[in-house]
Amino acid sequence: MVLQAFLIFNLAIGLTYGAFGVLVTPMEARMNTERSVVALGISLIILANGLLSPALGWLIERFSIRKLMLFGAVQAALGYAGLAFAGSALEMLVCYGLFIGPGITLMGPIPCYTLVSNWYREGQGRALGLVNMPILAMAVPLAVVQLLPLLGFRDLCLLLGLCYLAAIPIIWTVIDQPAQVGQMARGQTAADETGKVQAEQAETSAWALLRTPAFLLLVAGSGLLVGAGVGKTAHMVPLLTEAGWDYGRAALLLSISAGTGIIGSVAFGWLADRLNASVALTANALLQAVVWIILIIPVSYPLLILDAVLIGACGGGFISAKGVLVSRIYGAQRFATVMGISGFATLPFLFGMAPLAGLLREAMGDYDLAVQVYIGGFVLAAICFALLARVERRAVSGA
């Protein structure tokens, strides 16, 4: 199941997020619109994810992870088919907001992470880290740069749609729960009393969660970190080309950043298993605050490569540590519900940060102020996760 979740996650997220940054400039020209409008495409994906996330726990219980993933793959494929023939900004945004966004949400993060949570009680951080390794997000930008001149925008979008259909045979064999095949999760006891107690104690209705300081800190920290990651995906290539680097080198840095998420995914998952997950997330945010400075100062290309490695490692490692944190505080039984509600609550950050960077760039003429705003967000996120450390320790000790 970890291998299948890894493959499905990469197809769901890697294709769309890996391709979007490279397609920004072609879509800007093809749709005859401004960059800030094109950047709304990725924000609409985040919006769709946020709107659907609170219902995913309910949907998984009634329709199963496998059925939701199958429906999502077909929906994403239809979205790329529509994008291939889109001739205006409105049509492009409809494809991203009503088809691609919901499609990759139904086959992407929360279903995949819930599948892993169902099968693992111990070593969950490492398992989530393996699933979250963004192999395709590393390869897709380079592939799109090479294929775009050969295929053209329309055929390239049709190819991306076919890739989503290729996920169907993999999804077909997904097993939601180990109990369905007479097994138990790794590290689960026969009684699993700890999980029962956690499920009884956790406040998991949307209103109850939004009234708890711990959940608000989780939302704020998560929103700031993931929102910055969305902004990086949408703007890193344009930012670097405007700084004087050619399109190929800029796309290579985006690929490196995505690829080194592999290292971070496993490393931060391991740290969350071994240490306090809140501490791992605090370190993640502070490291990003430092390395993003490099993007707005004149540096050599080797230093930009190092910067891309560190940014990618932190971005890739975030969800592994967050998954462990949510599981420890709220229990595996409520994992999908809490992740879903937190996903919805982070919408203001995730939907707004990429367009904000585009608007600041258009207003100031460069990306300097946008990057400075992101750096301030990293510092605030570090404070949020540092304050959650005590909550996590109490949950683990059962106090």
The residue with greater pLDDT, 69 or 230, is 69
Q: Quick: pLDDT tens for 214-229.
A: 899 999 999 888 888 7
Output the pLDDT for position 190: 58
**In the chain, where do the E strands start and end?**
none
pLDDT exceeds 50 at position 251:
yes
Domains of the chain: 2-172+194-397 (1.20.1250.20)
In degrees to the nearest 10, what's the CA dihedral of 4, 285, 360, 26? -20
Task: State the average pLDDT over residues 254-265.
Answer: 77
DSSP state of 186: B
Q: At 379, is the pLDDT very low, low, confident or very high (cuts 50, 70, 90)?
A: very high
Q: Could you give the CA distance from residue 95 to residue 376 in angstroms, rounded to a whole number?
A: 33
Q: Give the three-state DSSP class for 244.
A: coil
Tokens linked to 202: 């956790």
CA 315 to chain centre: 8
Q: Could you give the CA distance from residue 61 to residue 35 in angstroms, rounded to a whole number?
A: 40
Q: Report helix angle 15-30 to 135-165, nearest 10.
A: 80
Radius of gyration of the chain from its Cα atoms, rounded to whole angstroms: 20
Query: Is there a contact between 156 and 147 (Cβ–Cβ < 8 Å)?
Result: yes
Output the pLDDT for position 205: 63
Query: Is there a contact between 20 and 26 (Cβ–Cβ < 8 Å)?
Result: no
Q: At 48, is the pLDDT very low, low, confident or very high (cuts 50, 70, 90)?
A: confident
For tokens 């999502």, what's the residue?
72
Beta bridge partner(s), residue 6: none
CA nearest to 96, candidates 18, 155, 20 = 20
Q: Which residues contact 150 (CB under 8 A, 6 or more apart)?
A: none
C-alpha triplet 244, 250, 256: angle, nearest 5°: 145
CA nearest to 336, candidates 63, 8, 98, 79 = 63
Task: State the average pLDDT over residues 56-68.
Answer: 84
Q: Which residues contact 191 (CB under 8 A, 6 or more apart)?
A: none
Output the pLDDT for position 333: 72
Q: Could you give the CA distance from residue 164 to residue 146 in angstroms, rounded to a whole number?
A: 20
Q: What mean pLDDT, rounded, does the chain reach?
A: 82
Output the pLDDT for position 202: 47
* DSSP per-residue codes, 110-143: HHHHHHHHHHBSSSHHHHHHHHT--HHHHHHHHH
Q: Could you give the CA distance from residue 90 to residue 72 in angstroms, rounded to a whole number?
A: 22
Output the pLDDT for position 206: 64
